[in-house]
Structure 1
Amino acid sequence: MSRNSFFRHVGWLAVKLGLVAAALLFFYWIYLDTTLTQRFSQSRYQAPALVYGYALPLHPGQKLPPEQLRRRLQLLGYRAVADVRDSGQFQQTGDAFVLYRRPFDFADGPQMARKVALHFNDETLTKIISLPDGRELDSMRLEPPLIGRFSTHSREDRLLVGFELVPNLFVDTLLLVEDRNFYHHNGVAPLAIARALVANIRAGHTVQGGSTLTQQLVKNLYLTREQTLLRKAHEAMMALVIDARFSKNDILEAYLNEVYFGQDRGNAIHGLGLASVFYFGKQVQELNAADIALLVGLVKGPSYYDPRRHPERAKQRRDMILQLMFEHDLLSKPDYLAALRSDLEVKASGHLVSSSQPDYLDRVQQELAHIPLPADWQKQGLRIFTGLDPLQQAAAEQALQDTVRRLKKPDLQGAVVVADYHDGSVRALVGGTQNNAAGFNRALLALRPIGSLIKPVIYSLALQQPDRYQLATPLLDNPVILDVQGDKAWQPNNYDGEFLGQLPLYQAFVTSRNIPAVNVGLDIGPERIVEQLRALGVETPLHAYPSISLGASALSPYAVARLYAGLANPQGFRPLHTIEAITQHDGMSVYHHQPQPLQQVLSPESQYLTEYTMQGVVREGTGKRLGEAFPNAHLAGKSGTTNDLRDSWFVAIDAEQVMTVWMGYDDNRSTGLTGSSGALKVLRQMLKQQPPQPLQLRRPETIIDANFRSDSGVRVPDSCSDADPEVLRFPAIDKPVIEGMTCAGTVEEKSWWQRVFGN
């Protein structure tokens, strides 16, 4: 074959191979265009469910100690300053505050940053003044704290933010440092690749990258990090497809939500939205020039420039970027110098959630299982708003741990549940002494006999029969023996082993005598007690045995809190809940808690008399030590102790909350503690940290103060109050005294003259 024919042959072969390559490239482009466009449109990344706590409302007349407000602001990451200029700052002067509330996307919609002055008088918030206009506000609220998250399958954490929320200064700085020609290339920058190639050849190793932001996005979303020519070619093709199909702002928004910013334990922090919270505790809109420079610097190497582990290195990188910002007219000279002089003001904690709440989140997950969520919720992410009060939670955790330590019983366990009985929102939930460790959640799962905690249920049923039971009604306190079919006789006893013969219902209730409660329970009927427990939300198995009158039924602390919330609320029973609302990361509503209609379980009179007597428990009965610690709070409460001192219970009620504490051993051995010597101590310390709201009972119009004989329980005239020490005065349903009733409790016999002519 001649030389010319050989070259012609090789040339035709090259043309054919080129055509084949072009055809393959064309079909590959079509394939990428079809699949990549769909994937990029519908499932770019996964976003977690971020869980938030209680958004504290503020309004004039609210009981709120200034020190408690300060603690809440510090917990939210607000900084105390001498002159409040930016959001996330506050100034305290005596009992007055100037506060710059951050912008936040609440469950019911976004709210802008707001600067206000707060005035207090005697631990009461008296005024909220909008600044600088000086208008008085009816209310406002603090943003809720982030308390946890439910991660995605990818273990990537992010808070999706729209491009419109990102400060222009951040976008301009990012493009200045990472991709200056972003708005002018087609997804790939050949000149940048060429420059990087030359630099790398000269250095003998990789010192410079030529990837555009679009290529970086493609690599992070769809490719591995291997450094091969084939992968780089694949990356370039994909970048060209995405650039051709999507707007520059869409690509930039995707990049801002995908870029990697560091690690929090086993979860990767992706996206500007969560990085702002992770490093500064701020929303994206609040970032200042120094913050922006630091975050842009982290893009190059989050681990290498970690400001917590390598502060000097991170500051050098930040200052270099600040200089670039100044040189390219993104910052004025005064702003540049101010940012340059500022310290690295990052959060001390290297965790997104500094104090995890696994016990509370257990209940959140239980409720989530019954809420219909979008099947693909991980594409848009969720924000779950709950009722957890972080100060209440911290107080409950600390009180339980400290009490166990002081009692010198290292294996002793406990649980605490705090709930707002008006709206049913759970404010705190502690499932054990190891509060930050996931494990057996005793608040939800430990089923323990409730002992004397059953007595308010029994007496409230009795007081619904005013013709038979009043607070002064004498109850027998004598030995009782009951034959139980198929079992040995049941012989209940009082805690002190003694019998008082007879005492008024009020006194039997306040001192928690067992035998009177058994007698009343038998009179009402165990079946009726079971019905009442069901009406108060008890779902666990119950048996209508006589022993139910002494709390032989086993309930969890959460179930007890639910039961007592029904007893405490004059309006009726309402189930407890943790989740208030759920939205997607973009604010689209997914779920909003709709309170169930209140169920009137008790008559208003019975509810009032029961709670009045529970105040007596704290004032003069088994809860007296709690009353002595908080004499002006007028708390209601009830202690509970089970056989052989295995379980120690106490429930306290203030104007807003029902607080339930249980203590015991997991193996059910004796604690040596009564409700008053164990659980009450936890409550007392908890309330020292979170003072109770004074409980003022609303007396029904049908209730008056009336006189009764202590020996017979008979209603006697009001004029007897100072005449006979045996006369007791109690609230009672307003009914006329029997005509002719004497102070001795007998009806005066009328003469024939009085019967004919009257008195």
Structure 2
Amino acid sequence: MVRLGLLALVGALALVAYMVYLDVQLRERLDSRQYQLPARVFARPLVLREGMVMRPDELAAEFAALNYREKQTLTEPGQWTRAGMDYRVWRRDFVHADGREPAEVVSFRLRNDELSGLQGESGQKLREFRLDAATIGTLLGGGDDRNPVRFADIPPLLANTLIAVEDQDFLHHFGVSPRGIARAMVANLRAGGVVQGGSTITQQLVKNIFFDHKPSLWRKFNEALMAVLMELHYDKPYILQEYINEVWLGQQGSRAIYGFGLASEFYFQKPLDTLEPHEMALLVGLAKGASYYNPWRNPERALERRNTVLEVMQKHELISADELDRYRALPLGVASVAGAAQNPYPAFTERLLQELRPFYSYEELRTAGLRVYTSLAPSVQKLVEDAVSSRAEQLEKDRGIQADSLQAATVVVDNETGNVLAMVGDRRPSYPGFNRALEARRQVGSLIKPAVFLTALERPHQYNLATLIEDAPIRVEAPDGQVWMPSNFGNQSHGPTPLYLALAKSYNQATARLGLDLGIENVRQTIRRLGVQADLPRVPSLFLGAVELTPFEVAGMYQTFANGGENVELRTLLAVSDAQGEQVQKFRRKADRNVDAVPAFLLRYSLEQVMREGTGKSAMRSLPGSVAFAGKTGTTNDYRDSWFAGFSPDVTAVVWLGRDDNERTSLTGATGALTVWTEIMRKLPHRHGRVGAPRGVEYKTVNDRGQFMDPRYCEGGRNMPFSFETRLEPAPECAGRDRFRWFRDFFGDDRGETDETAPVEEMTPGWGVDPREQQREQERERQLQEQLRRDDETQQPGEFEQAPLFEEEPQQFEEEPLQLPRGEEEELREQQEIRSQDDTGVPVEEAQPWSDEDQWP
């Protein structure tokens, strides 16, 4: 007996020592435990403002991105209701980059797509109201992922259901439940196999944190000891909270879904505290085996398991019998597999990572749980995705193009801020493969022409919008004998053409002549000042687009035109904070001005004429004529690439269509990319009215020879903007009509008019505006606003949407595809074929047909 007593004592001491060891391990692990969480990415929050333009479908898209549910009556945050055009929205509590905003109800009205009557729940009028930001994914997929929740945020129904299903004695046992073990043994004996486990929630938590899932008696023994120790040191709410955050509930490739917080978003795309009882039942059921009950692969099995949990809920009086019948009849209601993607916007996210990497390490982005606030606008992104997918398919059908052969890329940016609102890098927008918006360098064709014309307009003493440019055949021979002879569409020449019209109708010969007069290097420097950093060949074909750019780079260039010469750095990243929303780092707008506002405005006028009477004219049949749209088509050799880049006063959008194998598409910029661009822009809100001219611009009337027509003595002509520094020749047909001219000349006419220049005496040098012209502009603006008001009153519901989208543009308005010298074209094709085989999309260095040392006039 003594020996047995000694052995028992030694065993007890050993057990105590072992438990002390386990206790140290347990407390060190839990007390210092931090979840490794990937950075969570948020879209820009929608800010509702009094008087803002907002369409009902845009608003619905924003609510869908936020996973707000439409209800007849608001009962909790994350819901919205609509009665006619009156809306009420219950915003969720959210931590923005500049602080937390609590849950709150707001109401407003949409009338003629304009928001009004914005007010809070107590009736106070509001100037603006910011919603919470939609979660758009996590960065750097793979590994464990979770969205931890605090015990206070766990819905009581979920906690009680979990206890009822997994551990009915949870509130009473001390870590191990003898009754639970006995109950499991009886159930297993009756079934003739293992159908029920005896582990408590505490034991399962210990297993999830400290052990693998391989069954063994030693593991069970350790689980039991550590469960008892855990109950000694931590209270029940903490243990339940950690279990809810730790349990494995699904898998997405290499990404493991842990915890109910993330599982709620993964399966239902909604926060945990907004789940319905039948949705909670499915998640609780998945805790038994997320792979076995996978609702996408095994929906019947998952439905059966969910209904079993619902029956347990009713048995423990968590729901009523009527509710049980109603919830059992409902489908699973899980999101689509694509909707549950970790990164639903791969093109946008790739650019976001590029902007994050200089400031944050890979490990920080993968494990530190950062909150990343971005510029993505969910409603704009959806609009762009739908336009790209539907139009690409429609073009293939209408044009007899091989099905699924067209590819696309699109970038939409806010002009003033440079914020990237939407980006698509593949015809299948959610496909995480080659990102053509950032990586596909393709020749841009006529998109580069505005840089040539801008270079000319920066020389106001030599060129203006009315300057005649000879559109005639041109031949350029290189020192090595290569010949460049660009031609226009249909091989037609148009003779002397006003500068603005040569750009509007994209005449190749006129552009080439103008570029050669200006000099290759001067045009290259202009392109550089527009923010383009890509390689620029020193060859004449540069003037017609022999340069490779990505859609993202083109967007930066055209956004500079839209901003009146101010280049704003495009960005997706706005701010980053830690997991608690504190320690915020904000990223400011970066801009510089390398182009003067006056020539930039004159160029804008020319690009507006592209839409009014040039290669973009077909788009204006479905766009509001009161908006100052501007843009340019682009087509490359053999119709391989179809481009359109354009802007309104608010946004710039760039669209590229083509084939990855560089084969012919048969699409010009007008028949291809422009149709996608139009579909996007016609659904976005825009400011109406003309864009105001900067100081230093004056409007004058000229004839078709570019001569000034004094409105006091002549009628007709075309009124257009000019730099104050421009001196126009007077039109001969206006001379000799002032019978009292000799009288004013004799007594000293203070107008200062001469035969050589147009009258400028009423201008303040460098800054003035002709008062008469200003009055005429005000009258035209008043008439335009009156016309818009009458249109609004007479327009029938749905009238705008029913307008024909696109009509074939007359051939004379099509631009000729980019033309290269003989020899250069064959070399280009070889380079493109090599590049099309490069999975990374990184272009192979292209040999230039002319060396940098060659000098061209």
Normalized against structure 1, the TM-score is what? Answer: 0.86
SS of structure 2 residue aligned to 1:562: helix
Counterpart of 1:507 (choices 498, 501, 506) is: 501
> Any gaps of 5 or more consecutive residues in structure 2?
750-857
Query: Is the Cα contact below 8 Å between 2:266 and 2:340 reproduced in 1?
Result: no
Q: 1:107-186 residue pairs with structure 2 within 5 A?
A: 107-131=97-121, 133-150=122-139, 152-154=141-143, 156-179=144-167, 182=170, 185-186=173-174
Decide which of 261, 265, 285 is 2:249's aligned counterpart.
261
**Matched residue SS, 1:573:** strand
- Per the alignment, residue 540 of structure 1 pairs with 534
Give the corresponding residue for 2:670.
676
Aligned to 2:718: 728
Query: Could you say which residue in structure 1 is the equivalent of 2:307?
Result: 316
Q: Which amino acid aligns with 2:92?
A: R
Secondary structure at 1:393 match in 2: helix
Match of 2:520 in 1: 526
Which residue identity lines up with residue 404 of structure 1 in the other structure? E
Q: 1 CA distance for matches of 2:235 and 2:531?
A: 55
Matched residue, 2:766: none
Secondary structure of the equivalent of 2:646? Answer: strand
Which residues in structure 2 correspond to 1:305-454 (within 5 Å)?
309-310=299-300, 313-326=304-317, 341-342=326-327, 344=330, 347-351=333-337, 353-354=339-340, 356-373=344-361, 375-388=363-376, 389=378, 390-398=381-389, 399-410=391-402, 411-454=405-448
- Counterpart AA for 1:112: P
Work out whether residues 400 and 433 of structure 1, in 8 Å CA contact, stay in contact via their aligned partners in 2: yes
* Cα distance, 1:402–1:86 mapped onto 2, change above 3 Å: farther
Change (3 A) 1:490 1:519: same
Work out the CA distance in 2 between the residues paired with 1:472 and 1:287: 65
Conservation of the 8 A alpha-carbon contact between 1:704 and 1:732: yes
1:599 paired to 2:566: no
Cα distance change of structure 1 residues 394 and 42 upon mapping to structure 2, 3 Å threshold: farther
- Tell me whether 243-252 or 51-60 shows the greater mean CA deviation: 243-252
Alignment deviations for residues 331-352 of structure 1 (CA, whole Å, 9 cap, x no partner)? 7x7xx85576456475442437
**Matching of residue 611 in structure 1 with residue 586 in structure 2:** no
Note the C-alpha offset of 1:595. 1.6
Instruction: Answer yes or no: is the 8 Å Cα contact 1:418–1:657 preserved in 2.
Output: yes
Task: Tell me the distance in 1 between the aligned counterparts of 2:30 and 2:418.
Answer: 43
Find the aligned partners of 1:82 and 1:206 in 2 and give their Cα distance: 47
Q: Using the alignment, how far apart are the partners of 1:240 and 1:374 within structure 2?
A: 39
Are the aligned partners of 1:187 and 1:240 in contact in 2 as well (CA < 8 Å)? yes
Alignment-mate amino acid for residue 432 of structure 2:
A
Deviation, structure 1 residue 455: 1.5
Structure 1 residues 207, 741: CA separation in 2 closer, same or farther (over 3 Å shift)? closer
Cα deviation, 1:102-136, whole Å, max 9, x if unaligned, reads 344444444333333221111111122323x2222
Higher alpha-carbon deviation: 296-305 or 228-237: 296-305
Q: CA deviation at 1:232?
A: 0.3
Residue 681 of structure 1, CA deviation: 1.9
For the 8 Å contact 1:107–1:589, the answer to whether it is kept is: no
Pair 1:741–1:529, CA change in 2 (3 A)? closer
Cα separation, 2, equivalents of 1:93 and 1:301: 43
Q: Secondary structure at the match of 2:698?
A: strand
Counterparts of 1:340 and 1:111, CA distance in 2: 39
**Code of the aligned partner of 2:357:** A
Residue among 46, 60, 66 paired with 1:70 = 60
Counterpart secondary structure, 2:487:
coil
Matched with 1:561 is 555
For residues 427 and 736 of structure 1, what CA distance do their matches in structure 2 show?
39
C-alpha distance 127-751 of structure 1, shift in aligned 2 (>3 A): closer
Letter of the structure 2 residue corresponding to residue 148 of structure 1: G
SS at match of 1:322: helix
CA distance in 1, matches of 2:688, 2:741: 53
Equivalent residue, structure 2, for 1:4: none
Q: Which amino acid aligns with 1:159?
A: N
Give the Cα–Cα distance (whole angstroms) in 1 for the partners of residues 105 and 443 of structure 2: 51
- Partner Cα separation in structure 1 for residue 618 and residue 695 of structure 2: 32
* Kept after mapping to 1: 8 A contact 2:109/2:116: yes
SS at match of 1:530: helix
**Partner residue, 2:74:** 84
The verdict on how the C-alpha distance between 1:395 and 1:289 changes in structure 2, with shifts beyond 3 A counting, is closer
Equivalent residue, structure 2, for 1:211: 199
Measure how far apart 1:510 and its partner are: 0.9
The alpha carbon displacement at 1:57 in A equals 2.0
- Map Cα deviations across residues 457-489 of structure 1 (whole Å, 9 max, x no partner): 222232222222211112222333334334524
Could you tell me which residue of structure 1 aligns to residue 835 of structure 2?
none
Q: In the alignment, is the contact (CA less than 8 A) between 1:109 and 1:587 conserved in 2?
A: yes
Matched with 1:627 is: 620
Instruction: State whether residues 403 and 681 of structure 1, in contact with CA within 8 Å, keep that contact through their aligned partners in structure 2.
Output: no
Question: Where does 1:562-581 land on structure 2 (aligned, <5 Å)?
Answer: 562-570=556-564, 572-581=566-575
SS at match of 1:675: coil
Please state how far the C-alpha of 1:432 moved relative to its aligned partner: 2.8
Whether the aligned pair in 1 keeps the contact of 2:81 and 2:87 (CA below 8 Å) is: yes
Instruction: State whether residues 297 and 321 of structure 1, in contact with CA within 8 Å, keep that contact through their aligned partners in structure 2.
Output: no
Structure 1 counterpart of 2:45, one-letter code: A
Q: Which residue of structure 2 lines up, in the alignment, with residue 15 of structure 1?
A: 6
**CA 1:175–1:696 in structure 2 vs 1: closer, same or farther (change >3 Å)?**
farther
Deviation of 1:653 (Å): 0.8
Residue 158 of structure 1 and its aligned partner are, at CA, apart by 1.7
Bigger Cα displacement from structure 2, 608-617 vs 166-175: 166-175
Q: For residues 555 and 13 of structure 2, what CA distance do their matches in structure 1 show?
A: 72
Aligned partner of residue 409 in structure 1, secondary structure: coil
Q: Structure 2 residue aligned with 1:461, among 455, 466, 487? A: 455
**Does the CA-based 8 Å contact 1:307-1:315 persist in structure 2?**
no
> Hey, what's the Cα distance between the residues in 2 that align with 1:524 and 1:188?
87
One-letter identity of the residue aligned with 1:141 = R
- List runs of 5+ in structure 1 lacking aligned partners: 1-6
Mapped contact 2:504–2:607 kept (Cα < 8 A): yes
- The code of the aligned residue for 1:403 comes to L
Tell me by how many angstroms 1:625 deviates: 0.2
Residue 717, structure 1, aligned to residue 724, structure 2: no
CA distance in 2, matches of 1:159, 1:352: 20
> Deviations 1:561-581 (Å, cap 9, x if unpaired)?
111111111371112122333
Partner of 2:787: none
Cα distance in 1 between the residues matched to 2:529 and 2:229:
63
Distance in 2 (CA, whole Å) between partners of 1:349 and 1:639 is: 40
What is the 5 A alignment of 1:645-684? Answer: 645-684=639-678
Amino acid at match of 2:411: V
Which position in structure 2 is the counterpart of 1:3? Answer: none
Q: Does 1:235 align with 2:226?
A: no
Distance 1:18 1:536, change over 3 A: farther
Taking a change above 3 Å as real, the CA distance of residues 114 and 345 of structure 1, as seen in their structure-2 partners, is farther
Given candidates 271, 275, 279, the residue that maps to 1:283 is 271
| Partner SS, residue 465 of structure 2 | coil
Shift of 1:446: 1.5
- Structure 2 residue 210 is the aligned partner of structure 1 residue 222: yes
Measure how far apart 1:751 and its partner are: 12
Please give the secondary structure, in 1, of the residue aligned with 2:202.
helix
SS in 2 for 1:211: coil
Q: What is the Cα-based RMSD across aligned positions, in Å? A: 3.5
* Cα distance in 1 between the residues matched to 2:129 and 2:744: 70
CA apart distance, 1:448: 1.3
Match of 1:174, SS state, is helix
SS class of match (2:670): coil
Instruction: Give me the whole-angstrom Cα distance separating, in 1, the residues matched to 2:742 and 2:579.
Output: 87
Aligned length, in residue pairs: 735
Moved more, 205-214 or 690-699: 690-699
The alignment partner of 2:469 has SS state of strand
Question: Equivalents in 1 of 2:398, 2:229: separation in Å?
Answer: 67
Residue 470 of structure 2 aligns with which residue?
476
- Please report how far the alpha carbon of residue 187 of structure 1 lies from its aligned counterpart in structure 2 after TM superposition: 3.5
Contact 1:460 1:602 survives alignment (8 Å): no
Judge conservation of contact 2:408–2:656 (CA < 8 Å) in 1.
yes
